[in-house]
Amino acid sequence: MNVPSHPLIADYAARHGMADGVRADGRLTVLIDDKYRVHLRGARNGWLAISARLRTLPPAGLARDRFFDEIGRQAAGMLSRYPSACVVDPDEDALWLQQMVRPDTEAAGVDEAVGRFANALSFWTGTARRAA
């Protein structure tokens, strides 16, 4: 399905020479520091979602409970410093980092949001890997 690109994604892609990278579904995937795959996609009500997969969740049970206890402790501390948050995908298979950007955000604000997201992502990739 060919979906029109979100205006913030189209602008970001054009300014950074990635216009050809916008997929038919409107998503743009950016590789940051040659190791972080960050996805930009349109969300409800014109918002922009920035996301990156952190890891597969442990199997249901005690291991998953311990994992969420540890991630929850870390997440509580990070909320005061970063606008991103850990989320679980709808299939409950993986932990993702996600940040929402307002539809009225200017170009520089999108660049700043992607930069702040990348900073948080560098913390979360290691933390999620080490969690119980």
User: Can you tell me whether residue 19 is helix, strand or coil?
Assistant: helix
pLDDT in tens, 48-62: 999 999 999 999 999
The reported pLDDT for the residue numbered 19 is: 87
Q: Tens-digit pLDDT profile for the chain (132 aa)?
A: 566 679 999 999 999 999 889 999 999 999 999 999 999 999 999 999 999 999 999 999 999 999 999 999 999 989 889 999 999 999 999 999 999 999 999 999 999 999 999 999 999 999 999 986
- Spatial CA neighbour of 114 closest among 55, 54, 53, 48: 48
Instruction: Give the single-character DSSP code of 26.
Output: S
pLDDT of residue 69: 95
- Looking at residue 4, its pLDDT comes to 62
Q: 74-91: per-residue pLDDT in tens? A: 999 898 899 999 999 999
Q: How far apart are CA 97 and CA 118, in angstroms?
A: 10
Residue ranges and CATH numbers for the domains of the chain are 7-131 (3.30.1460.10)
pLDDT at position 127 is 92
